[in-house]
């Protein structure tokens, strides 16, 4: 990366506004390669130079990639006045982070968060058909015909039917289950845990697909996104950086070398 003004580096990382940075420089709180910075318009290369604030190294990597195990109860948005957002779980304060696609407030599971706009766009583009695997607990047990419909593509009220998907029943439970959505449907009878792999990302797509076969979703979890499986060591609300191998796989899945 080319050299940038110190105040621009700090503001892009979301650490200090330009005026805060100016004050910090005046107070001698910022150093570059061990030398105290004298002016906010001094330049440094964030990829090469060691920048410190209050004696601590600043994480200046330009591109970051995280896997979050999204818990239920938070929304996929950059900010919200009332609800917790997925970014409340990420310590990285840079301001250019975005989630790759959305999960509903009550959906749990893998969510990729990055400031790499190009890969974000590619992973969501219909051109690359990136598969997303969901585990849906549904009221009722889908019949063979239902499964065939889900797999073939069905009308969910949009202009076009859904694209072909893959679907299989993982488990059938004879008893009522408890939970936020489950409690809303009293005596829903037997339930099925169904794996559904789709390559699109329409609004509430999985829930609408199961609505269309009259098996409402009681709980929804995303277990994989493209080539990445949710790291089962991550508890709900925990996240970690993607490994180099995982990033390579994402690049490949999104047509990037």
Stretch that binds ligand URA, among 48-56, 153-161, 201-209, 226-234 (CB under 6 A): 201-209
Residues 6+ apart with CB under 8 A from 188: 139, 140, 176, 182, 216, 218
By CB under 6 A, residue 221 contacts ligand URA: no
Tokens standing for residue 10: 């700090």
Set 59, 104, 106, 248: catalytic member: 104
In angstroms, give the least distance from the CB of 198 to ligand URA: 8
Least distance (Å) between residue 74 CB and ligand URA: 12
Is 231 in a helix, a strand, or coil? coil
Least distance (Å) between residue 182 CB and ligand URA:
16
Q: Are 135 and 191 a contacting pair, CB within 8 Å?
A: no
DSSP secondary structure, 152-214, as one string: H---SSSSSPPPP-EEEEEEEE-S---SHHHHHSTT---EEEEEEEES---TTHHHHHHHHTT
> Counting contacts by CB under 6 A, is residue 220 touching ligand URA?
yes
Work out whether 162 is an interface residue with ligand URA (CB under 6 A). no
Q: Give the nearest distance from C-beta 207 to ligand URA in angstroms.
A: 4
**Nearer Cβ to ligand URA (7/135):** 135
User: Taking a C-beta distance cutoff of 8 angstroms, is the pair 44, 21 a contact?
Assistant: no
Residue 37 or 113: which CB sits closer to ligand URA?
A: 113
Binders of ligand URA among 98-137, rule CB under 6 A?
Answer: 103-104, 107
Check: CB of residue 88 under 8 Å from CB of residue 70: no
Tokens of 172: 């059938």
Our answer to whether residue 104 is catalytic in this structure is: yes
Evaluated on CA atoms 214, 181, 186, 169, the torsion sign reads positive
Q: Binding residue for ligand URA (CB under 6 A) from 31, 114, 205, 254?
A: 205
Contact set with ligand URA (CB under 6 A): 103-104, 107, 204-207, 220
Active site residues: 104
């Amino acid at each position: 990366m080319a050299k940038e003004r110190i105040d621009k580096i700090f503001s892009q990382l979301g650490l200090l506004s330009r005026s805060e940075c100016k004050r910090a420089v005046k107070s001698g709180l910022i150093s570059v390669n061990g030398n105290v910075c004298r002016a906010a318009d001094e330049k440094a290369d964030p990829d090469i130079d060691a920048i410190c604030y209050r004696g601590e190294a600043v994480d200046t990597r330009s591109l970051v990639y995280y896997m979050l195990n999204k818990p239920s109860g938070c929304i996929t948005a950059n900010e919200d006045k009332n609800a917790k957002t997925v970014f409340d779980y990420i310590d990285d304060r840079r301001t250019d982070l975005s989630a790759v696609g959305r999960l509903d407030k009550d959906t749990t599971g893998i969510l990729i968060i990055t400031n790499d706009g190009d890969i974000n766009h590619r992973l969501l583009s219909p051109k690359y058909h990136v598969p997303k695997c969901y585990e849906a607990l549904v009221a009722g047990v889908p019949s063979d015909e239902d499964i065939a419909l889900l797999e073939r593509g069905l009308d969910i009220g949009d202009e076009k039917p859904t694209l072909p998907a893959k679907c299989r029943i993982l488990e059938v439970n004879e008893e009522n289950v408890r939970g936020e959505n489950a409690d809303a449907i009293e005596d829903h009878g037997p339930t099925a845990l169904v794996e559904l792999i789709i390559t699109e990302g329409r609004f509430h797509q999985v829930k609408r697909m199961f609505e269309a076969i009259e098996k409402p979703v009681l709980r929804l979890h995303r277990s994989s996104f493209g080539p990445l499986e949710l790291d089962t060591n991550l508890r709900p609300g925990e996240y970690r950086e993607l490994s180099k191998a995982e990033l390579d796989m994402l690049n490949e899945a999104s047509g990037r070398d």
